Amino acid sequence: MRATDLSELAAFDAVARHKSFRRAGEERGVTASAISHAVSNLEARVGIRLLNRTTRSVSLTDAGAMLLSRLSPAFGDIGSAMDGLNQFRNTPFGKVRINAPTSIAPFVLGPILGDLMRANPNLELEVVTTDRLVDIVEDGFDAGIRLGESLREGMTAVRIRPRLRLAVVGSPNYFDVAPEPKTPADLRAHRCFQNLYPSGVRYPWYFEKEGRSMEFQPTGLFSSDDHDLLVQAALSGMGLAYVWEDRAEAHIRDGRLIRCLDEWSPPEDWLYLYYPTRKYISAGLRAVIETMRA
């Protein structure tokens, strides 16, 4: 097989997995037009249409689906063979792509990046952050980071550090005109910002103490899925925010925010690094796992 044949097959494989020429190009490090040209060359050479294309979507033909079903294991074997060369190196070599939530990525990955890169100088780590739930297989990631409640079946999950907490915070100016709440029930008398999932669904503030649990659903006039923006809103003195503790820590330390209901704020569920159970674990991904493991 010629190198050009393999390159065209790899381009087709990427488009078929992502259902997108643009995302396939991003994965392969080339332009979408280069990917399209490679796939067109492949179709012309085999004399069969492999992909259905419209201005808005890409889908597999029956022939394309059959080819992908045979190619995927083959490319997996090639990847495993290439990764097997790492046993002859001092440190892993290659790229590891990780998806992580924007709201917590700095606190999860920031503390370990230096040690990870120093110990693995030949490892290329690519981190893409979004608070939207993604399909790491479809989007071409080796692994993702999520709370345990968000994990799907068919994934292997490894518990990682740190264990995060949420905090209720307000500014001194706010508490000059409103008493500090002593129990979650007191929040009904306060202006409280609403928290959103990226989907737009509002979620309640959760509290727990000595076996008692409570939920509070704010009805304030401001809502956001961005914890940094919620912190800024709290700093304005216009209400209370429910945010990741680490997002507010610096402002609590310098007195610009006051934390309340601390004894009612339990640690969140553990965070997990997860990856497809049937996926071959590369030496690079294994190094990431061992560095992050709790």
Q: What is the CATH number of the domain that holds 149?
A: 3.40.190.10
Q: Is the pLDDT of residue 158 over 60?
A: yes
Same domain for 199 and 56: no
C-alpha span between 148 and 104 (Å, rounded): 14
What average pLDDT does this structure show over 173-182?
Answer: 95
What average pLDDT does this structure show over 101-119?
Answer: 90
Q: Is the pLDDT of residue 140 over 90?
A: no
Same domain for 276 and 251: no
What average pLDDT does this structure show over 154-171?
Answer: 91
Rounded (10°) CA dihedral 34, 20, 141, 126? 50
Tallying the residues shown for the chain, one arrives at 294
Q: Is the pLDDT of residue 85 over 80?
A: no
pLDDT for 137 equals: 82
pLDDT for 90 equals: 63
pLDDT for 48 equals: 92
Mean pLDDT for all residues in the chain:
89
Count of structural domains within the chain: 3
pLDDT for 269 equals: 72
What average pLDDT does this structure show over 8-12?
Answer: 91
What average pLDDT does this structure show over 108-128?
Answer: 92
- Inter-axis angle of helices 21-28 and 32-46, nearest 10: 100
Q: Is residue 268 very low, low, confident or very high in pLDDT (cuts 50, 70, 90)?
A: confident
C-alpha span between 135 and 156 (Å, rounded): 14
Tell me, what CATH number does 48's domain have? 1.10.10.10
Same domain for 241 and 184: yes
Q: Which domain holds residue 8?
A: 3-85
Q: Is the pTM of this model over 0.85?
A: no
Same domain for 137 and 281: yes
Same domain for 112 and 41: no
Q: Is residue 132 very low, low, confident or very high in pLDDT (cuts 50, 70, 90)?
A: confident
What average pLDDT does this structure show over 218-235?
Answer: 94
Same domain for 15 and 151: no
Same domain for 253 and 183: yes
Please give the structure tokens belonging to residue 160. Answer: 């990682």
Q: Is residue 89 very low, low, confident or very high in pLDDT (cuts 50, 70, 90)?
A: low
pLDDT for 100 equals: 94
What average pLDDT does this structure show over 35-43?
Answer: 93
Same domain for 45 and 170: no
Q: Is the pLDDT of residue 4 over 60?
A: no
Q: Is the pLDDT of residue 1 over 60?
A: no
pLDDT for 26 equals: 84
Of 277 and 278, the structure prediction assigns the larger pLDDT to 277
pLDDT for 2 equals: 60
Same domain for 254 and 184: yes
C-alpha span between 167 and 251 (Å, rounded): 12
C-alpha span between 181 and 184 (Å, rounded): 7
Q: Is the pLDDT of residue 88 over 80?
A: no
pLDDT for 279 equals: 67
Q: Is residue 138 very low, low, confident or very high in pLDDT (cuts 50, 70, 90)?
A: confident
- Inter-axis angle of helices 283-292 and 105-119, nearest 10: 120
pLDDT for 150 equals: 65
For residues 220 and 157, the answer to whether their CB atoms sit within 8 Å is: no
Q: Is residue 182 very low, low, confident or very high in pLDDT (cuts 50, 70, 90)?
A: very high
94-100/143-147 β-pairing: parallel
Please name the residues in contact with 177: beta carbons below 8 A apart, sequence gap of 6 or more.
Answer: none
Same domain for 96 and 159: yes
- In 54-204, the DSSP E strands lie at 58-60, 94-100, 123-129, 143-147, 155-160, 166-170, 194-196, 202-203
For residues 124 and 117, the answer to whether their CB atoms sit within 8 Å is: no
pLDDT for 60 equals: 92
